[in-house]
Chains A and B, each alone.
Chain A
């Protein structure tokens, strides 16, 4: 009997101990998660943030030039920088629920649309430029720039003329500077201590970096890509057709931005280094590694084919989604259906293969 008790005690201790085991051996199997994390951070995340920071800086320069000398040439140059920066944003939004970006809640400020143009006009009239006030989150960011550069007057001449008043220029500058202020600390954090912290989180738990990235990636796809860019405006979630809800409603850049976002999503999936053709460890190679263990159809090629199909359907749409929605909704619905199909693959097939839970469900299993 004593033997049995001893055995019981030994095993019970063992099993309880496993709960908070802090031993963390570096992975040495044929798929190395640390390598994948390093690839993500060093070749994708930090370069994307650096690029975005650079684009914001160019945007700032163009803003300064335009506010000093407001003419059509400078407006065109500014608009070009605005679109460049907006596209660059699509590459970093995937990581906006991680680290400093999450702490600053950047998505809340940078890209909430439709923008509040009435609020913007009031701010301009009152000369109020404090964009850290909670209520101002839809009076700033790219959607506000979109309004300021394309929507404040009926035509370009009238728009340029608006900036002869100091208030418009001041507000424009404040919006651009606010974008910079929201990104500089995020980039600094990644370049600083957070990089190593993140790369070391190799365990499979809610706090593990792979799990965090997987959850954010899917969240970004479902919400910022699928729902905001197309689903909402075509009335998928109720409220009928809402063409005014498209991204860049005034600048009519919705398709370009949507495609940029899809590129960012696909590149990250494939582990493609930022602005390079080299591929590193990624969801794709991780899935390929797991696929080799199970029989049946390989998942990664199916998912990439689905992304390409979605891109084909998006490409068929008008450059301005609002115009598309107002003229013929059918191609927009088709594009949405293909975007939607990938949600199921991400949430079911990829999550199952990685065996990470969608968010952290704290409960016993069977």
Chain B
């Protein structure tokens, strides 16, 4: 690529925000892994289940039995190395691969914020987050003060996209004009002190929360970009995430978003933090260095020709993916075809019930399956509202009973789903033998149509 000298891609900026981002990200990931382990979730989510739901094309990714613990340990260790900036490139690549592998092991545990972490770590693989205030820099005795501006901007862009698309997804008739699902969720928080039995029960509050949530998500990236509104926007970010943390069981996500948002601040803010940390670490660092570290001016990419186009393709995909649902007929919230990987966060209240019937095609003998013989309650909950889960599970059941010696197997499902407070209705065509249906990215025409209409994105 031949760039004019003063083009955007040749602009430079302080590396400090990226350094703070690296440290914050690494530490929070380490804490997340420890917390996951400590809560016993490795055992309950990846060891105990007898069956795991796969992503299309990633059927080969499975938990590793008892070695799953080693995988988590590896992931946590790489997060720690990212934080301290030791063998950074290798560490962040290791983190990206191990974390993404963990997320791919079972579709049941899909969370938008896990996806967000995978993407952030992907971008971080290409950014020089270790060229200052890192163990790598310390060992090489070489630090840089500036890096290309697009490095920091790419993180801002990704975070901005997450917020903006989350806001866009809220522009729909259920969210704005029925205050759903907040109207279901908020009144059930009656046990919160002070607000539980007052505003949480008020309809105007549900609407106010829906509308302000939508406006918040749409505006926050822009408010963070402009210096004049930045502090206000940050206060809003902290308030919003803390509030949702109180209301919903969303784990580490609020803290990750709050810390990530710091990247929007100007370099002097981050430089002060680094200076502060350096002072605290001085007693240790002076033990090892006699001559100090050489300060170089500007970090330049040697592989810019590969990295830039790669990131451009990556971001183009990110822009496109949330809109892929337009390719599918039917209501997105009902079919969930194109729902994942689109920043549709806490958007619908969906519950289902799926009762599988195994039929012998010749004798017409049948029996129903007890789902908890095969699935954990969390898996069953996810399975019963999502067609791709239902199909994969139907095949698992068919194969299982075939192995048990059953013949001429047909698998039918009687399934009901309720969406955003509507009465439950039939979800999957009960006359379709799911054992004969194949998973693909095309529309599943055995999903029964949604009986209502939801307008919007």
Residue of A with least CB distance to B251:
A364
Q: Are B238 and A8 in contact (CB under 8 A)?
A: yes
Q: Are B355 and A358 in contact (CB under 8 A)?
A: no
With an 8 Å Cβ cutoff, the count of chain A residues facing the other chain is 59
Known A-B contacts A353-B184, A364-B253; A28 and B197 likewise in contact (beta carbons under 8 Å): yes
Q: Are A204 and B189 in contact (CB under 8 A)?
A: yes
Q: Are B194 and A366 in contact (CB under 8 A)?
A: no
Residue of A with least CB distance to B112:
A366
Q: Are B367 and A343 in contact (CB under 8 A)?
A: no
In the complex, whether B418 has a CB less than 8 A from a CB of chain A is yes
Q: Are A15 and B421 in contact (CB under 8 A)?
A: no
Name the A residues within 8 Å of B198 (CB-CB).
29
Q: Are A366 and B111 in contact (CB under 8 A)?
A: yes
Q: Are A355 and B184 in contact (CB under 8 A)?
A: yes
In the complex, whether B87 has a CB less than 8 A from a CB of chain A is no
Q: 8 Å CB contacts to A: which residues of B173-189?
A: 178, 180, 183-185, 187-189
Q: How far is the CA of A356 from the CA of B351 in the complex (A)?
A: 11
Q: How far is the CA of A239 from the CA of B365 in the complex (A)?
A: 10
B-contacting 9-mer, from A142-150, A287-295, A310-318: A287-295
Known A-B contacts A11-B239, A240-B365; A24 and B234 likewise in contact (beta carbons under 8 Å): no
- Chain A 1-31, CB-CB to B under 8 Å as 1, else 0, gives 1001001100110110010010111011110
Q: Are A4 and B248 in contact (CB under 8 A)?
A: no
Residue in A4, A29, A208, A340 whose CB lies within 8 Å of B197: A29
Known A-B contacts A11-B238, A302-B423; A358 and B377 likewise in contact (beta carbons under 8 Å): yes
Name the B residues within 8 Å of A263 (CB-CB).
none
Q: Are A294 and B183 in contact (CB under 8 A)?
A: yes
Known A-B contacts A8-B238, A293-B183; A366 and B113 likewise in contact (beta carbons under 8 Å): yes
Name the A residues within 8 Å of B178 (CB-CB).
294-295
Chain A: interface secondary structure? loop
Q: How far is the CA of A63 from the CA of B346 in the complex (A)?
A: 60
Residue in B187, B194, B238, B242 whose CB lies within 8 Å of A290: B187
Most buried by B among A295, A296, A348: A348
In the complex, whether B190 has a CB less than 8 A from a CB of chain A is yes
Residue of A with least CB distance to B415:
A344
Known A-B contacts A21-B193, A355-B188, A361-B377; A14 and B423 likewise in contact (beta carbons under 8 Å): no
In the complex, whether A351 has a CB less than 8 A from a CB of chain B is yes
Min C-beta distance of B114 to chain A, whole Å: 9
In the complex, whether B283 has a CB less than 8 A from a CB of chain A is no
Q: Are A235 and B346 in contact (CB under 8 A)?
A: no
List chain B positions with a Cβ less than 8 A from chain A: 39, 41, 44-45, 109, 111-113, 178, 180, 183-185, 187-194, 196-198, 201, 203, 206, 231, 234-235, 238-239, 241-242, 245-246, 248-255, 258, 269, 272-273, 345-346, 349, 351-353, 355, 358, 365, 367-368, 370, 377-378, 381, 414, 416-418, 421-424
